[in-house]
Structure 1
Amino acid sequence: MRHTSGPGTAAALGARILILLTTAATTLAAALQAPAWVTAGLGAIALTFVGLRRIFDWHENRLSFSSARAKLGRTIHAYRLLPEERRSEAAKSALVVQVDDIVMAETTAWTEHRRTMRDGEQTP
């Protein structure tokens, strides 16, 4: 499996590092008997980072995007590998249908994921 880098992976890594640092700093501040407002402030910052990470769900979004991109790439490459004489209107229509199916499946999965997250947040 190839490791990719980019803004999404950098943001996810940055979020994990910030969560780790702020939670560790919260524990350290409490152990050093820092003023209550310092410990509470660090805890609030850590909680904010955790909440933002949950809301935006960077890792899951990146995985979903990568999967859809690979499916689309495979479909388009299969069409491009057809000899020119076989790229008929029927082949072009089939390509469009396959791309639409991939887009619809990804959109449906994303919608279901968002509903699940929303419903999970409303459950006590």
Structure 2
Amino acid sequence: MTATLEASTVVLTGMNRIVDTHEGYVAFVAAWAGLQVAVNDDRLLPEERRDEETRKLLVARVNEVMKADTEQWASRRRA
């Protein structure tokens, strides 16, 4: 009985690692997609409309996505 419980614990721990890896991958893909949208929006601007302000907005958006992704990662690590 004890061996069965121990084996079950090992299997469930392994399954949790697999699910966690999948969740991490999904979070990465979502963050990457968000960054691609911001970059593509910037690229669609005509060259004459790209200025310091639009660059600042792009960098701010990148920072927002990175911060949110890092916070999600840290939250998953704490759980």
Question: TM-score under structure 2 normalisation?
Answer: 0.79
Aligned residue identity for 2:61: Q
Q: Equivalent residue of 1:69, what SS?
A: helix
Segments of structure 2 that go 5 or more residues without pairing to the other structure are: none
* Larger RCO, structures 1/2 (Cα 8 Å, 6+ apart): 2
Identical-residue share of aligned pairs (%): 35
Segments of structure 1 that go 5 or more residues without pairing to the other structure are: 1-39, 117-124
Question: TM-score under structure 1 normalisation?
Answer: 0.52
Match of 2:44 among 78, 81, 89: 81
Q: Equivalent residue of 2:12, what SS?
A: helix
Larger Rg: 1
Q: State how many pairs are aligned.
A: 75
Q: How does 1:51-66 map to 2 (within 5 A)?
A: 51-55=13-17, 57-66=20-29
| Structure 1 vs Structure 2 CA RMSD | 2.1
Structure with the largest fraction of helix:
2
